[in-house]
Structure 1
Amino acid sequence: MRIFFTGGSGKAGRHVAPYLAAQGHQVTNADLVALDHPAVADLRVDLTDAGETWSALAGLATFDELDLPGQPSYDAVVHFAAVPRILLRSDSATYATNVLSTYHVLEAATRLGVPKIVFASSETTYGICFAQGERRPLYLPVDEDHPTVPEDAYAMSKVAGEATARSFQARTGTDVYGLRINNVIEPHEYAELFPAFLADPALRRRNIFAYIDARDLGQMVQRCLETDGLGYQVFNVANADLSVAATTTELRERFYEGVEVRRELGRDETFYAIDKARELLGFAPEHSWRDVLPQP
């Protein structure tokens, strides 16, 4: 597939864009900063500018395409570009940048007839991660039907992005899949970060004790590209296990007393339900911190 990938130079994108290229796709990284990966084409694009976004999506990706009899169109858009969390820019700039860029990408992609759009939403939409003070899920495991009532600018922008995506899908019938991505962990971060998480599981409370390996996120995007006909969908994206050594029972007793449990949970099963992605896409995460670190 010929893929227009926004934000390929970010923490998640710098793993996912090359992963897709390794699967045989032609990937163009639309970002303000170059990825400089030999298998991925770089194109500097300001996605908050509607004209730039449209022009980039309608244009060439590489010099090799000049030799084709006609200019090719993109088969898919993967939209990861964003201010990636709070406390990097002002709240107003975070919200405006994320909402406007998402609108421009979705508008250009659907009007240009791109048949598949995958966009990054966030775990933060559930209103727990960046809440002021203590927030607990309404029930466990947290699935895609859990209410999304965030208080912070970043999560608000992601909820707005989901509403925008659903509207463009309803208008056009294009397959548009949103990924509520949990905390992205790069392979080297297991050794750097997880010893502290194993010593003090409270450090992972705001992430609902979940995580997603950047390599498994690549697999998730590939599954979305391979699966057609689902219309508009949102999917939780996480690894299958907890990000701490404590068991589900221990965590429930310590952090979630009185929270409804809607089904039986495995000893180390994530509280951030990925059942929908497994059932509709065949998502099967392969990596775990348990493969790297000795377990207590």
Structure 2
Amino acid sequence: MAERVVVTGGSGRLGPWVIREFLEHGYEVVNIDTRHPQEPLCPTVIADLAQLGDAVDVLEGADALVHLAAIPAAGLRPNEFTFRNNVLSTYNVLAAASLLGMSKAVITSSESSYGLVFALHPFSPQYVPVDEDHPQLPQDSYGLSKVVNEATADMFHRRSGMQVVSFRLGNVIAPDMYENFPSFIHNPRERERILWSYIDTRDAAVAYRLAVEADGLGSMRLNIAADDTSMDIPSRELMAVSYPDVRDFRAPLEGYETLLDNRRAKQVLGWQPVHRWRDHVNV
């Protein structure tokens, strides 16, 4: 078992939950970020991962890398900056991990890599639930950065044999964010671009730990999403309203099932999301 895990971006929304998960299972954890967290759970090192030297320095002595650090969405910074930051920092941490002989890394990709989320010219998924084999067709620098990062993971696996798992996360929801759900759960147009997906930070954190503990995965992409959508509307009705042209349904969809297919993560990691928005919201 890896003993020392470096988590980049541990001061963000998801990071503290990932850090807690590793700490609670006996790991030594170091957080790498550009700012200190609100709650200090473990040592934090301020570093610029756009600099390869910084990446090598902060990863020295670690057994595994969990890379969360990124500009987290399109439109927050200029397009070129978003692309350069996300691609260069991911290249650098994987290059550093490879140079240091590390065998395990998990990087953070996104459902945005499929292209629907920030598309300038909206389009429909080719089929649902969208699985990891669905074409990635981004029209934005953020989604493109995630596609490039997954290819970077492939390259470093070929180069060094390092296992790199790329998580295509659904919309990340911390527990305090469930209070916002009543404002949109009856309006399918509000979250149609993300296929109404979500993933609780606690369930995502478990997936990161399981990916570090797994062996023999090579370079693999995995969707990480809750079992249900974020809506109080059956999934087939959501599709009929927002994507009526889609005819290829690859699951029964008899209730509120996720439209971002999470079955592969369950199969290869033994992972099971347990937190549902309905446990926190009266409907």
Q: Is TM more than 0.5 here?
A: yes
Between structure 1 and structure 2, the one with the greater Rg is: 1
Q: TM-score, normalised by structure 2?
A: 0.96
Contact 1:5 1:27 in 2 (8 A): yes
Gaps of 5+ in 1: 59-72
Contact 1:116 1:225 in 2 (8 A): yes
Find the aligned partners of 1:56 and 1:152 in 2 and give their Cα distance: 31
2:59 aligns with 57
Q: TM-score, normalised by structure 1?
A: 0.92
Contact 1:18 1:40 in 2 (8 A): no
1:88 aligns with 2:76: yes
1:48 aligns with 50
Contact 2:186 2:233 in 1 (8 A): no
Gaps of 5+ in 2: none
Find the aligned partners of 2:25 and 2:190 in 1 and give their Cα distance: 35
Find the aligned partners of 2:27 and 2:39 in 1 and give their Cα distance: 14
Contact 1:18 1:37 in 2 (8 A): no
Identity %: 40
1:203 aligns with 190
Choose from 8, 12, 17 the match for 1:15.
17
1:137 aligns with 2:125: yes
Find the aligned partners of 2:12 and 2:107 in 1 and give their Cα distance: 14
Paired residue secondary structure (2:206) = helix
| Paired letter, 2:8 | T
- Aligned-residue offset at 1:78: 0.3
The C-alpha deviation readout for 1:39-93, integer Å capped at 9, x for no partner, is: 31100110001111111212xxxxxxxxxxxxxx211000010111112111001
Q: Which runs of 4+ in 1 moved over 3 A?
A: 36-39
- Aligned-residue offset at 1:133: 4.1
Choose from 180, 199, 203 the match for 1:216.
203
Paired residue secondary structure (1:119) = strand
1:190 aligns with 2:192: no
The C-alpha deviation readout for 1:255-296, integer Å capped at 9, x for no partner, is: 22231112322411100000100111111001011001112x
Q: Which has the higher mean CA deviation after the structures are superposed, 29-38 or 178-187?
A: 29-38
1:156 aligns with 144
Choose from 110, 127, 132 the match for 2:115.
127
| Paired letter, 1:51 | G
- Aligned-residue offset at 1:38: 4.3
The alignment's C-alpha RMSD in Å is: 1.2
The C-alpha deviation readout for 1:131-190, integer Å capped at 9, x for no partner, is: 114221110110000001101111111111011111000111111100001110110111
Find the aligned partners of 2:92 and 2:262 in 1 and give their Cα distance: 29
The C-alpha deviation readout for 1:244-264, integer Å capped at 9, x for no partner, is: 000012112212223111232
1:2 aligns with 4
Contact 1:36 1:42 in 2 (8 A): no
Find the aligned partners of 2:107 and 2:22 in 1 and give their Cα distance: 15
Paired residue secondary structure (1:140) = coil
Q: Which has the higher mean CA deviation after the structures are superposed, 224-233 or 254-263?
A: 254-263
- Aligned-residue offset at 1:15: 2.0
| Paired letter, 1:44 | I
